[in-house]
Amino acid sequence: MDLPLLPLRGVLVFPSMVVPLEIGRKKSLNALEHAMLADRSLLFVAQKDTRQDDPGPDDLYRVGVVAEVKQVLKMPTGGSKVVVEGLTRCRVLDVRDDGEFMTAEVEAVGEETTLTDEVEALMHTAVDLFEVYIKNSRKMPGEAAVAMNIDDPGRLSDTICASLDIRTQEKQEVLEAFGAADRLTRVSDILSRQIELLEIEKRISGRVRRQMERTQKEYYLREQLKAIQRELGDADEGEGEIDDLRARLDAMEDLAEPVREKIEREISRLQRMTPTSAEAVVVRTYLDWLLDLPWTTVSETVLSLAEAEQILDEDHFGLKPVKERILEYLAVQSLSSELKSPILCLVGPPGVGKTSLARSIARATGRRFVRVSLGGVRDEAEIRGHRRTYVGAMPGRIIQGIRQAGAKNPLFLLDEVDKMAADFRGDPSAALLEVLDPEQNQHFSDHYIEMPFDLSGVMFITTANVLHSIPRPLLDRMEIITIPGYTEEEKLAIAERYLWPRQVRQHGLVAEQVTASRRVLAHVIAQYTREAGVRQLERELGTICRKAARRIVETKKAPVRVTVQNLPRFLGQPRVRHWAAEEEAQAGVVTGLAVTDVGGDIMAIEVTTMPGKGRLTLTGMLGDVMQESARAGFSYIRSHQTHLGVPQGFDETTDLHIHVPEGAIPKDGPSAGIAMATAMVSALSGRAVRPDVAMTGEITLRGRVLPVGGIKEKILAAHRAGIATVLIPEKNHRDVEELPANVRRSLSIQTVRHLDEVLNITLVSEDGHGEKG
Ligand code: ADP
């Protein structure tokens, strides 16, 4: 039998099914027309690939259905809508294509209708499964009910299969199954799979729904919260703030992901809080800190050594060796960024320009400058911050400094490292070590901030007044540069070139309005200041300028000329008493030399005797080392009584009391050894001590004089005080070479090896003169 053939895409026609179809392809329309002219019968065969527009005989399946066209409806677009009814399954034997449409030679396949037990059982299964399927699937096809009552096994499977929403290929397989049992088995398989799929689908959609419900609920609650807050009058503010914070976060470029995430989390946390709650305040402060820190901000640094040198010279007089060291340090830094250069530590008394040097270095390298004082810091948390669980917690000083700098590579001056103290709250120097250690400071963690901050770009400089109180491990990490203090001449030059012009300017004056000669400046230095640095000097000059400004404003007369004669009208009477000149030779009073926090200084040592049993009393806040040193001297004197000319057996009849005035200032160290011993001998023997001699040196039990530190500072102090002769340990003679020539000239510096020599030089003989020297 030959029939016109109509290829199907995406649908199948089963026997005894009524199916509506749309026909649009030219060849198919031709086939339809041909059928309508004959007996309205057509062969419907599915094409294997639905994407093909003009399939050939090989592109079609080999089993199809002959159907009768029940109705044709011509469409205005040229296509047709038809309703067909499937009649018989056919095997396609041959397909021909004459260009107008395809014709097929077919052979009908007989349907099996006998009900064996097996087929009946299979039918039950299929129906049961189909029921489950219908229940689970929301789309209930019209044919479904019909299928339940069909008692022909072949038709049952066809009807079920046609109503399923499955792939064409699967349906085709059912179509090609000729035996009833085979067809039923296939349909049951398909049904089970479909049921399973439906179940999975249901589970997924359940999950999606729950998720959506939760977000919706949260959204709803949040809106409600906002409404409540709006009622309370603080919502707008809160919202604006959150937007603000987000905007600030967005403006931060290149922020490391963990930091950004942390900030985002905190912002969301804040959003959920009542804006006025205590907790919100904490979070807000925290966010402020996080958003303010220069996580990625770097200030452009420049480094031209020539320029740096020029800037250093511009800002500071003298200090040659110090400037050289700084330039070398900068040179090394510019050569190798990997080699982590050590931390510079500027050591010297106040007012010698440590801070201003650091400021200059910052200027010379184009870094921002921050200064943090460590004086009095005794708690680790001051360096590293408090955990946020503390009320009023804050980041430590390092992070505070960084925020102040506004860049992650500032020059960071840590002032007064020698004034830190450790106590039960932890050792701040340990925390500082971590800050300064180039290995560790890349990930410096502040307890408050919680996120590691990179300090490796920071240039740290520390300052200290004295070395001995800097914790050892910290000291090891630093490169020490000492600035011992200035001579009168250096001070004069500094005053003339820097301090005076600056003070004049700062007081709103110009050079023509107030003049002070070199002599006046020298006078101020000598009569009104006694210090190693120039801080007090600068203050005095400031006072002169202030008074001069007032005079100019009041009398409208300029210039004001400051002279040596009228100086007291500006500064009052000279305050500094010159030591030796007015002193009379006395027994039991010796001038010692010391280095304190404010530089070198002279100190009086007094000894008095009283009836007793050879006891030694020490007062004046003397440290252990100093006390031991006094005892060593005492023992030497006891064992050399005759030789030293002290009363025989004094240690049975006499007590000694050593006092070092200015008792409020703690003193320590071995360097007053020879001075204390000399004072004891003088007091015991009644021989007076030359008041214009000062001395320093440690004493041994055998009376030998050992070298001590700080010679340069001490001699400068003696020079300031107008001392004529300074005794220093012989081993210290090299230190003298570092002194300015004019100091060396104006003082007699004598080296000593033994206490006997000291006594020879300092003790006045009965006729009132020193025996030697
Ligand atoms: P420190 O930090 O050592 O206590 P400062 O840096 O505060 O000292 O210095 C005090 C003042 O003295 C500053 O105004 C500084 O400019 C000035 N000064 C110190 N040494 C010099 C110097 N060599 N040349 C010019 N000015 C100086």
Q: What is the pLDDT of residues 177-200, one digit of tens each?
A: 888 899 999 999 999 999 998 888
**pLDDT digit string (tens) for 414-429?**
999 888 876 666 788 8
Q: Is 169 exposed, middle or buried (0-12, 13-18, 19+ CB in 10 A)?
A: exposed
Best mutation site among 463, 466, 496, 534 for ligand 1 pocket (most ligand atoms within 8 Å of CB)? 534
Comparing CA positions, the residue from 407, 344, 334 lying closest to residue 365 is: 334
The neighbouring-strand residues paired with 96 are: 103
pLDDT of residue 98: 86
pLDDT of residue 528: 87
pLDDT of residue 63: 94
Cα–Cα distance for residue pair 243/236, rounded to 1 Å: 11
With tokens 């029921």, the residue in question is: 131
Name the residue with the closest Cα to ligand 1, atom 9. Answer: 353
Per-residue pLDDT, averaged over 739-749, amounts to 87
Strand, helix or coil for residue 591: strand
pLDDT of residue 341: 65
- Is residue 397 a contact partner of residue 417, using CB atoms and an 8 Å limit? no
Instruction: Indicate the residue type of 344.
Output: L
Q: How confident is the model at residue 339 (pLDDT cuts 50, 70, 90)?
A: low
Query: Is the pLDDT confidence value at 581 over 50?
Result: no
Name the residue with the closest Cα to ligand 1, atom 19. Answer: 353
With tokens 């001392």, the residue in question is: 723
Helix or strand run (H / E) with residue 151: none
Active site residue 671: yes
With tokens 């971590």, the residue in question is: 434
Q: How confident is the model at residue 499 (pLDDT cuts 50, 70, 90)?
A: very high
Query: Is the pLDDT confidence value at 201 over 90?
Result: no
Q: How confident is the model at residue 145 (pLDDT cuts 50, 70, 90)?
A: low
The chain-wide mean pLDDT, for the chain, equals 86
Strand, helix or coil for residue 280: helix
What percent of the chain is predicted at pLDDT more than 70? 94
Most confident of the following: 226-240, 552-566, 716-730, 749-763:
749-763
- Is residue 469 a contact partner of residue 347, using CB atoms and an 8 Å limit? no
End-to-end CA distance of the chain: 150
Measuring from each residue's beta carbon to the nearest atom of ligand 1, which residues come in under 6 Å? 316-319, 348, 350-356, 494, 498, 533-535, 538
pLDDT of residue 766: 56
Instruction: Find the 475 Cα to ligand 1 centroid distance in Å.
Output: 24
Query: Is the pLDDT confidence value at 392 over 90?
Result: no
Best mutation site among 356, 419, 483 for ligand 1 pocket (most ligand atoms within 8 Å of CB)? 356
- Phi and psi of 353, rounded to 5°? 95, 20
Query: Is the pLDDT confidence value at 502 over 70?
Result: yes
Name the residue with the closest Cα to ligand 1, atom 17. Answer: 353
Instruction: Find the 353 Cα to ligand 1 centroid distance in Å.
Output: 3
- Which atom of ligand 1 lies nearest, measured to the CA of 346? 3
Name the residue with the closest Cα to ligand 1, atom 24. Answer: 316
pLDDT of residue 700: 93
Instruction: Find the 534 Cα to ligand 1 centroid distance in Å.
Output: 7
pLDDT of residue 340: 65
- Phi and psi of 108, rounded to 5°? -70, 145
Marked catalytic residue, from 157, 671, 682, 685: 671
Name the residue with the closest Cα to ligand 1, atom 22. Answer: 316
pLDDT of residue 337: 63
Comparison of pLDDT for 628 and 427, the residue scoring more: 628
pLDDT of residue 166: 87
Name the residue with the closest Cα to ligand 1, atom 25. Answer: 316
Instruction: Find the 528 Cα to ligand 1 centroid distance in Å.
Output: 18
CA distances from 39 to 90, 92, 98, 398, 648 (A): 17, 19, 20, 99, 160
Instruction: Find the 503 Cα to ligand 1 centroid distance in Å.
Output: 13
Instruction: Find the 714 Cα to ligand 1 centroid distance in Å.
Output: 20
